[in-house]
């Protein structure tokens, strides 16, 4: 299949592809769902890619296209967009439309992903009318997707929030290279432990006097941002596009107050609850606090025993999931002050057979 990034954007091949999508979009499996939250949702399929759209009942003409990061090839397609989390929740309350594509396949698929985002955008324009402003928000590999789009089609996309590392994501057969010359504003936000790629693009583009900004989060991890930080980035980008004003370099860390521990200490360890499950990756959000691990005497980098659904697993307390080898269990503090249990490159919820509300038990090894 021909790729957008191996030919001029307005080539006849791309035009024919877009026309074909328009003809087929009426056959896409889609369902509009009413909402008592002031917006309606729609989902379906376009040219092999799933999509989700949430639009305020009184749309203000602004559109945010969310581009997710790499999803492993063995997992199902997912848009990874949840309208009830930030920044989507506030934007919908303010009258925005938010939308996302799953891309037609998982894996390292920057070229295909960019084409699928373009197809989704074209379909939304056809159905709802041309937005007065379209912003991109890309996480990890989705940041590379967003950068390619903003460099290639600044007339379509008015700004991009690039979140986390992943800018150097490459398709095996891609010859695309960044120009470092975006004609629309680009805001990078990155955790301190993975800021190098954002720094490189920021400095190269600033030497060319282009519109880029770099916000750092003084916290380790990968896309380890809290909801306030996600929302601040998108709101700042929107304000930048509107007024031409932004703080170009900033510590954008928002500290959250640690919740009071709800752990129950008994049987030589501590009991807690699973308060959330990530449907795509299977990560478990649990209600343990830093103080709970300190009380148990489990320091960063140390192993402990994790009991889920009656089964024991050996895990490590770390700063992020990539601190352990593939296939190993890990727990780390998230940006909201809670903890995430994960398996590096695997689905923790499926492996343990657990769900939201189940009990978690942790203890030191004997």
Same structural domain for residues 161 and 190? yes
Model confidence at 260: pLDDT above 80: yes
Q: Is 258 part of a structural domain of the chain?
A: no
Quote the mean pLDDT of the chain.
Answer: 89
Same structural domain for residues 130 and 22?
A: yes
The verdict on residue 259 lying in a domain is no
Determine contact, residues 269/312, Cβ cutoff 8 Å: no
Do 300 and 247 share a structural domain? no
Q: Per-residue pLDDT tens for 202-244? A: 999 999 999 999 999 999 989 999 999 999 999 999 999 999 9
Q: Are residues 149 and 197 in the same domain?
A: yes
Q: How many domains does the chain have?
A: 2
Instruction: Say yes or no: 143 and 60 in one domain.
Output: yes
Judge if 53 and 19 occupy the same domain: yes
pLDDT-derived band at 17 (thresholds 50, 70, 90) equals very low
Q: Is the pLDDT of residue 93 over 90?
A: yes
Q: What is the pTM of this model?
A: 0.85
User: Could you tell me which residue, 134 or 260, shows the higher pLDDT?
Assistant: 134
For residues 276-281, average pLDDT: 90
Same domain, 200 and 270: no
Q: Domain of residue 241: give its range.
A: 4-251
22 pLDDT above the threshold of 50: no
Out of 18-22, 72-76, 118-122, 206-210, least confident range: 18-22
Mean pLDDT, residues 3-30 taken together: 39
Among 228, 251, 274, which residue terminates a domain?
251
Do residues 113 and 58 both lie within one domain? yes
Residue 168 has a pLDDT of: 82
Could you say which of 197, 220, 251 is where a domain stops? 251
CATH of the domain at 350: 2.40.30.90
Residue 324 inside a domain? The answer is yes
Residue 92 belongs to domain with CATH number: 3.40.50.1820
> Is there a single domain that holds both residue 178 and residue 303?
no
């Amino acid at each position: 299949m021909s790729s957008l990034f191996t030919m001029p954007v307005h080539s006849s091949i791309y035009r024919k592809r877009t026309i074909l999508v328009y003809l087929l979009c009426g056959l896409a499996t889609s369902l509009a769902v009413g909402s008592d939250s002031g917006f309606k949702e729609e989902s379906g399929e376009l040219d092999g890619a799933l999509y989700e759209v949430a639009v305020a009942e009184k749309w203000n003409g602004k559109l945010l296209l969310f581009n997710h990061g790499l999803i492993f090839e063995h997992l199902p397609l997912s848009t990874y967009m949840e309208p009830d989390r930030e920044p989507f929740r506030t934007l919908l309350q303010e009258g925005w439309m938010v939308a996302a594509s799953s891309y037609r396949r998982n894996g390292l698929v920057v070229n295909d992903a960019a084409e699928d985002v373009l197809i989704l955008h074209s379909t939304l324009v056809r159905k709802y009318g041309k937005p007065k402003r379209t912003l991109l928000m890309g996480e990890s590999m989705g940041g590379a997707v967003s950068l390619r789009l903003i460099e290639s089609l600044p007339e379509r996309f008015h700004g991009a929030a690039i979140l986390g590392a992943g800018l150097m994501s490459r398709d095996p057969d891609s010859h695309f290279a960044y120009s470092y010359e975006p004609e629309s504003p680009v805001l990078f936000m990155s955790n301190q432990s993975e800021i190098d790629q954002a720094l490189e693009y920021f400095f190269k583009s600033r030497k060319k006097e282009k519109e880029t900004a770099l916000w750092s989060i003084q916290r380790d991890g990968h896309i380890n941002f809290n909801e306030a930080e996600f929302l601040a980035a998108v709101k700042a980008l929107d304000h930048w596009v509107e007024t031409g004003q932004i703080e170009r370099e900033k510590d954008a860390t928002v500290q959250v107050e640690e919740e009071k521990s709800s752990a129950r200490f008994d049987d030589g360890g501590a009991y807690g609850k699973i308060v959330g499950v990530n449907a795509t990756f299977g990560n478990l959000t649990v209600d343990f606090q830093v103080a709970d691990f300190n009380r148990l005497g489990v320091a960063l980098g140390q192993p402990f025993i994790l009991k889920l659904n009656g089964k024991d697993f050996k895990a490590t307390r770390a700063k992020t999931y990539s601190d352990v080898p593939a296939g190993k269990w890990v727990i780390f503090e998230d940006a909201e002050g809670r903890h995430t249990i994960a398996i590096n490159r695997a689905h923790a919820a499926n492996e343990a057979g657990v769900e939201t509300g189940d009990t978690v038990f942790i203890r030191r090894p004997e």
